[in-house]
Amino acid sequence: MKFSVDRPIAPKNALLCMAACAFLWSTSGALIKLISWNGMAIAGMRSLIAGVVLLAYLKLAGKKLVVNRLTLTVGFAVMLKFVCFTVGNKLTSSANMVALQYTNPVFVLIFSMLFFGQRFRRKDIAVALATVGGIAMLTLEGTGSSTMLGNFLGLMVGITTAIMHLMSGKAKSYAESLSINIFGNIYTAVLMCPFFFTGGGLSWDAGSVTGILLLGLFQQAAAYIFYGFAIRNAPTLNCTLIAALNPLFNPVWTALLVHEYPGPLTLAGFGIVLVSITLWTLSNARDKAAEQAKTPRGE
């Protein structure tokens, strides 16, 4: 039987794919901190490995790289996300980084209001205020592993992720969606490759080589392959909730492998951001389901 990415899979298998994706994503903070290279070099090499793997996967799937205005432009937002996330992880705690990244639904709401005419509701204002409060707690504690620049880059990850979600929704096919990620990896690899040679070049010690291979092959390439199957074969809400395993486990891996322990104020801010946005997502899903139930079905 010929392999095909378009063939549907069972919803329970799709949810397992999403769980695998979230698990792989959650290893990023610890792996980045274990690698001795500078953040720009890590971003470039990770994307070089992931880009090659994803191109090979696309060919194996019998698809062609989609080159159009959408993939080329949104790929730039993906590149900004990759660089900010990798460099930021070197400058702030994993708890701060994943919580700041998890603010992206709030930025989706803000951009939708500014550019697409969507109006704020009371609960939207409430979650925005809760998120701001949580971010303030994250950034004010001032733990040794956190810097203001790192926290700023974390916030940029949330913003660029929101842009990526808004624009990627316009992709018309699986190949087009994956091509956006591939171009993001290509841009990152090309623009960050000069940093391979700064500071005396890269140190090819066993820990750094193992870490960068795990990042490129599994945390990046394999995770997005799993994500592609999950998002097309399981309810979006279920995928969103399972994806929350990433921010939950990211600081755990960092504590176990790097011995980076967030302070009480950071944990409290992390919890506020995670819980408020998750509850808000559930509430929005219920509202959407209620509206669909009230809408008469066509003949």
In the predicted structure, residue 1 carries a pLDDT above the cut 50: no
Q: Per residue in 241-257, pLDDT tens? A: 677 777 778 888 888 88
pLDDT of residue 9: 75
Cα–Cα distances in Å, from 138 out to 87, 152, 239, 267, 270?
18, 11, 26, 8, 7
- Report the alpha-carbon distance of residue 142 to residue 114 in Å, rounded: 33
Q: Per residue in 126-147, pLDDT tens? A: 887 887 788 777 666 655 567 7
Sign of CA pseudo-dihedral 194, 195, 197, 203: negative
Angle 107-112-113 (CA atoms, 0-180°, nearest 5)?
A: 100
pLDDT of residue 114: 81
* pLDDT grade for 124, boundaries at 50, 70 and 90: confident
CB atoms within 10 A of CB 117: 7
User: Could you state, in order of their start, the residue ranges of all structural domains in the chain?
Assistant: 33-194+204-289
Q: What is the pTM of this model?
A: 0.80
In the predicted structure, residue 270 carries a pLDDT above the cut 70: yes
